[in-house]
Chain A
Amino acid sequence: MSLRSTLAFTIARRELRGGLRGFRVFLACLALGVAAIAAVGTLRTGIQQGLTDQGAVILGGDAEMRFTYRAADADERAYMDRIATRVSEVYDFRSMALIEGDQALTQVKAVDDGWPLTGAATLDPAIAVAEALADQNGIPGALMDPVLIDRLSLQIGDTFRLGTQDFRLTAALVREPDSASTGFALGPRTVVRTEALANSGLLSAGSLYETRYRLTLPPGADLQVLEDQSEGQFRDKGMRWTDSRNAAPGIEGFVDRIGSFLVLVGLAGLAVGGVGISAAIRSYLDGKTETIATLKTLGAEAG
């Protein structure tokens, strides 16, 4: 460093005794804005990567055919059996879980032996799904979201009713692998076997329910071709197709919207920070103008 620049540095350092106080808030705004935008980007990428990677698990199968207010008919079942190596049928509907003196709204998932086709359910106690849902002394087993268990103050082994059918709570459903693809749920989850509902009166004609058929496809199956083909054949009959390429459209849309919103927040932070910084610099320099004028009077060169 030359003598001149050493002196300039010395003078600058003395000047900084005044501190950067006025800038702190705005620097924080800038840092937050940048951090928010960066974080949102990372988060969004992460979530989307996860959705893509875990598409089949989230969906509960490589592909799903969905019907409203009815189960698949024989034609449709035959078609599924042809294109898929495994098929699992899930009924989804709202009902009331009844106990003596209390009741609570629940979103019931009635499953077959195949569920879950992909991923695994986490139960507490950690028993197998088949064991948990099996009949015991003529009463079928059921899984419940811990929230619902708390709400109804149930203990493992207690019974409750769905419609006219009794069920025994065998385990808490700590993690449901295909919960994200189910879409809008009005109540916490209860899982039972479809067969056990035969006498409940809940799945009779006129009930509001959805059926979802999760398909495990042979390796190398072309999802686009299958989608086009299935829709061509069954769309008119109310079939809707989803596959692991876009397993949870609701979540992706949500992440996109939240992401955009947070980026907006970040940008607003940056804008506030930027405006603030420029104002702060202006007032800081206003404060320094006299110092600069004095320095020049004393023989300081501009550069």
Chain B
Amino acid sequence: MTDPVLALPVLALTDARLTLAGNAGPVEILKGISLDIAKGETVGLIGPSGSGKSSLLMLMGGLERATGGKVLALGQDLTAMDEDALARFRRGNMGVVFQSFHLIPTMTALENVALPMELSGTPDAFPRAEAELASVGLGHRIGHYPAQLSGGEQQRVALARAAAPRPAILLADEPTGNLDGVNGQAIMDMLFGLRDRHGATLVLVTHSPELATRCDRVIRLADGLLAPEALAKAAE
């Protein structure tokens, strides 16, 4: 990689910290995370429950604001942006998929997928949304509301919604956690397929070691810190 711009990491965290106010005083959730993720890289985020995987993903997506350190995405400092600037930045640059699909219940599958593109003012939001739904095998379901879709179908809609704006960064938090093996496998195949087709950078939180092995790199979190082997790997 000779191009200095391409060589820039897509995500760069420097001593990123997150402290949230809990019931019994402040809780230190992330205790100083330093990490670079290169363009096109697929990173698996693993670790025990409560270790801070989701929180770290939120920080990368600007959905949670770091209380210390720096978080750079595509060269922009997320810690310096206000809520609205973050929202604008997420449009088009970030696609997020959650374990529980977070579709908007009052909108059809098509409207859900078109929504982020509508928000960023894309003129052909609806045709693109339709094509994207077809690509996840839901071309015949576009007029259905989330409640009329199975869990696997809902997650496919969520996937289409995340991918349709062609974001540079795809963040997925246990996207198969609520699905059975077959459906989970299908979602994973689609997710990796999207990454392959569009060259997005993918950060994937997972509990499945098998899935982790499909990633270019695996980062292990423990108690709000990067586990030593991850540090060792990062130092290589």
Chain A interface residues toward B at CB < 8 A: 3, 7, 10-11, 14-18, 290-291, 293-303
Q: State A151–B161 Cα separation when bound (angstroms).
A: 82
Is B214 part of the binding interface, using a Cβ–Cβ cutoff of 8 Å? no
Determine the residue in chain A with the shortest Cβ distance to B94. A299
Least CB distance, A286 to chain B, in whole angstroms: 14
Q: Contact check, A298 vs B90: say whether CB atoms are below 8 A apart.
A: yes
Q: State A291–B90 Cα separation when bound (angstroms).
A: 17
Q: Contact check, A14 vs B107: say whether CB atoms are below 8 A apart.
A: yes
Number of A-B contacts (CB under 8 A): 58
Is B105 part of the binding interface, using a Cβ–Cβ cutoff of 8 Å? yes
Q: State A166–B219 Cα separation when bound (angstroms).
A: 116
Q: State A296–B116 Cα separation when bound (angstroms).
A: 10
Q: Contact check, A303 vs B121: say whether CB atoms are below 8 A apart.
A: no
Q: Contact check, B106 vs A294: say whether CB atoms are below 8 A apart.
A: no
Residues of B within 8 A of A303 (CB): 84
Residues of A within 8 A of B96 (CB): 297
Residues of A within 8 A of B91 (CB): 298-299
6 intermolecular pairs with C-beta atoms under 8 Å apart: A14-B107, A296-B83, A296-B87, A298-B116, A299-B90, A303-B84
Q: Contact check, B83 vs A15: say whether CB atoms are below 8 A apart.
A: no
Determine the residue in chain A with the shortest Cβ distance to B100. A290
Residues of B within 8 A of A11 (CB): 115
Q: Contact check, A297 vs B63: say whether CB atoms are below 8 A apart.
A: yes
Q: State A148–B94 Cα separation when bound (angstroms).
A: 88
Residues of A within 8 A of B118 (CB): 7, 10
Least CB distance, B82 to chain A, in whole angstroms: 9
Interface residues in B67-109 (C-beta closer than 8 Å to A): 83-84, 87-92, 94, 96, 102-107
Q: Contact check, A294 vs B102: say whether CB atoms are below 8 A apart.
A: yes
Q: Mark B114-132, 1 if CB is under 8 A from A, else 0.
A: 0110111100000000000
Residues of A within 8 A of B83 (CB): 296, 301-302
